[in-house]
Amino acid sequence: MTIAFAVIGGTGLTEIEGLEVIHREVVHTPYGEPSGPITHGMIAGKRVVFLARHGYASNIPPHRVNYRANLWALKSLGVEKVVAVAAVGGITPLMEPTRLVIPDQIVDYTYGRAHTFFEDGLEHVTHIDFSWPYCVEVRDALLNAAQCAGVNVVAHGTYAATQGPRLETAAEIRRLERDGCDLVGMTAMPEASLARELGLCYATCAVVANWAAGKCDEEISMAEIHDNLTVGMAQARALLRGLVC
């Protein structure tokens, strides 16, 4: 049976509600080990695979995720479409906590990460077109799924990918806003560009966990992030179920 889509779960999403688990598979890759076994399952009669980006114990920080191994493992299983769920901070007014956003652009501020498959033993230098980093087909599917599930989403936004694992300073957030960014997170890159290199149709459902630094009067607390993610990830799960409605 063809895999309908793969889900990469971010912070707060280590399983999919309603997924009838068939089996879990350990996949070894030329780029090392993925974040964990791949979970195979069924939702509404459709085959889905799931991988927790930060590990099923949520113990892999964003700068240490083996993005190449994760994407290569999914590709090797025959996956063609990937939905990435990510917890983010909100910068611009629409990006309030618990909001779901389907971003359409990325600005990459990460460094030192293994960010390409095209580096050794090449017959020629390889470039990819990354003008529009997210797959239109999967973005449209997410937007339709949100409507099907009755979940309100913001349909556009620019995701600033920072290094982490620390949160940003208020001055850094002001810079990101001047650069045109609406959201800030730590996992969009190189995940999105590696997916493009492998020919995977990839898009993100971002869950706003908190206002970014300097965007509210209070300090950012982990308790606040946890509470907001509890609400936001419940909506994300409903959206994912909507993908097969």
Tens-binned pLDDT, residue by residue, of the chain (245 aa):
577 789 998 665 655 666 677 888 899 999 999 999 999 888 777 788 999 899 888 889 999 999 999 999 999 999 999 999 999 999 999 999 999 999 999 999 999 999 998 887 767 778 889 999 999 999 999 999 999 889 999 999 999 999 989 999 999 999 999 999 999 999 999 999 999 999 999 999 999 999 999 998 778 888 888 888 889 888 888 888 888 66
Q: Is 54 marked as binding a ligand?
A: yes
pLDDT value of residue 100:
96
Q: Is 187 marked as binding a ligand?
A: yes
pLDDT value of residue 13:
61
Contacts of 137 (CB under 8 A, 6+ apart): 81, 201
Residue 203 corresponds to which tokens in the numbers above? Answer: 């898009």
Note the pTM of the prediction, 2 decimals: 0.91
**Domains detected in the chain:** 3-242 (3.40.50.1580)
pLDDT value of residue 19:
67
pLDDT value of residue 238:
86
pLDDT value of residue 42:
82
What's the half-sphere exposure (Cβ side, CA atoms, 13 Å) at 120?
Answer: 4
- CA gap 70, 28 in Å, rounded: 10
pLDDT value of residue 124:
75
Q: Is 210 marked as binding a ligand?
A: yes
Cα dist from 3 to 6, 7, 81, 242, whole Å: 7, 11, 8, 16
pLDDT value of residue 138:
95
Closest CA to 102 of 55, 58, 151: 151
Residue with tokens 């020629």: 124
Q: Is 132 marked as binding a ligand?
A: no
pLDDT value of residue 233:
85
The residue type of 59 is N
Q: Is 186 marked as binding a ligand?
A: yes
Work out the number of other CB atoms within 10 angstroms of the CB of residue 45.
Answer: 9
